[in-house]
Structure 1
């Protein structure tokens, strides 16, 4: 049991560190729970518990560093919450085979486009809010809240890419705002898992502590190193999500 906890704490630390910089931490933490022999539903629920602690820590750090725009988020957060609730409640009604293929294509596009575009996300060119970009942000928040509620892979990558596209943020500011929105959908799904008793707190609590540490270090690195650090990690994690999804489809 001790070796299992130590293994999961190490994986959780690394997952939170990466996730706080560019998203995609679930690529590390969920397989780690499964590899440790935790049943699938409990792996998802326990991971959601520990990763929510990490995303909360990262959100606070980004916010206190001035990299979160609450003038935008006050419109987007309610729709993320509504989307996540609807997503969790409709998971069994969706043909996930079709969804898997669609998401694979989209996440590959995000990673490849970001790789070949030298300028995307490297400078903050935000020029304020207007009716058009707020409407697009609400649509993005609702759609990805819904998506994260019942499926999830690549949510952080899509949020960062979407916020850069809509508001012309750099990667640092996009990551900060994306982390807050991702935290809202995470905690909504966490509540649903808790209600259904799918969380192993004996594993989740120690892993959560290490994910908080990983998130603190990762966020500090992101804030200090900026877009030059975030962009390559963002591309790597986007393509990593795509490769994992393709592997799952073929096996």
Structure 2
């Protein structure tokens, strides 16, 4: 399917991808920027999802590598979360492709609003509220379950998954927010990779849009991961709050204006 994307639209999409990569690396939620941008640009709903995965996989990879170089990624945990997320994302993306576009578009709007509201008003976890780290075997099992469930969500929908992963790793496994951000990127990269592969095989990735956005997403994610490593938990909390409040306001405006 040929979709007309002007040079100006492509430039604006790249700017959206740059911002998304920056905030997603720090606190998750980048998909809440890029998916609405792609839909607004006029892409059919399945193609918007496919193209979003085609560009976001590069951002999640850049952030994961930067966190790994800083020594924040739990490599033992990643051995179970990565394949679990791959499997979940394939299931979720396969289900998405079965949903008719006329059903999917209003569903996407409802999900975007619900996710944005949740992220905006959830209580930020404090260091003192985090549980003690789990024994290794139990942490592996819980981590695999988190990756499977949220990987499935990411394959089917996606926006907000990075923040959900941060919340899960922090509240359930006792990770600091900076370390939870790093472990979230392993899961996020796996789910993006699996989803992108399936969407590409089905021909719903618009590569002439996805690749320029990917370059912008990669740059933003690298900078965002660097800031997260330097700024730690306080920066993560501030960016999450600022981004999601702005998104709630934007989505509310879209709904009111139809």
Q: TM-score range by the shorter chain?
A: 0.7 to 0.9
SS of 1:172's partner is helix
Q: Is 2:25 the partner of 1:20? A: yes
Decide which of 166, 172, 188 is 1:166's aligned counterpart: 172
Question: 5+ unaligned residues in a row in structure 1: which ranges?
Answer: none
Q: Does 1:206 align with 2:176?
A: no
Q: Using the alignment, how far apart are the partners of 2:45 and 2:76 within structure 1?
A: 38
Pairing of 1:93-112 with structure 2 (within 5 A): 111-112=120-121
Query: Of 210, 220, 225, which residue of structure 2 is paired with 1:219?
Result: 225
Specify every segment of 5 or more residues in structure 2 that has no aligned partner in the other structure, as ranges: 1-5
Q: How far apart, in 1, do the equivalents of 2:123 and 2:12 lie?
A: 33
> CA separation in 1, counterparts of 2:111 and 2:200?
29
* Shift of residue 37, structure 1, vs aligned partner: 2.4
Number of the residue aligned with 1:49 = 54
* Partners of 2:34 and 2:8 in 1: CA distance: 16
Indicate conservation of the 8 Å contact 1:154/1:241, yes or no: no
- Per-residue deviation at 1:34? 2.1
2:123 to 114, 129, 137: 114
Q: Determine if contact 1:148/1:155 at 8 Å carries over to the other structure.
A: yes
Give the root-mean-square deviation of aligned CA atoms.
Answer: 3.1
Q: Which residue of 2 aligns with 1:83?
A: 88
The TM-score normalised by the length of structure 1 is: 0.84
TM-score by length of 2: 0.82
Structure 1 position 65, deviation (Å) = 0.7
SS at structure 1 position matched to 2:123: helix
Cα pair distance change 1:102/1:190, threshold 3 Å: closer
Aligned residues: 248
1:59-70 equivalent positions in 2, closer than 5 A? 59-70=64-75
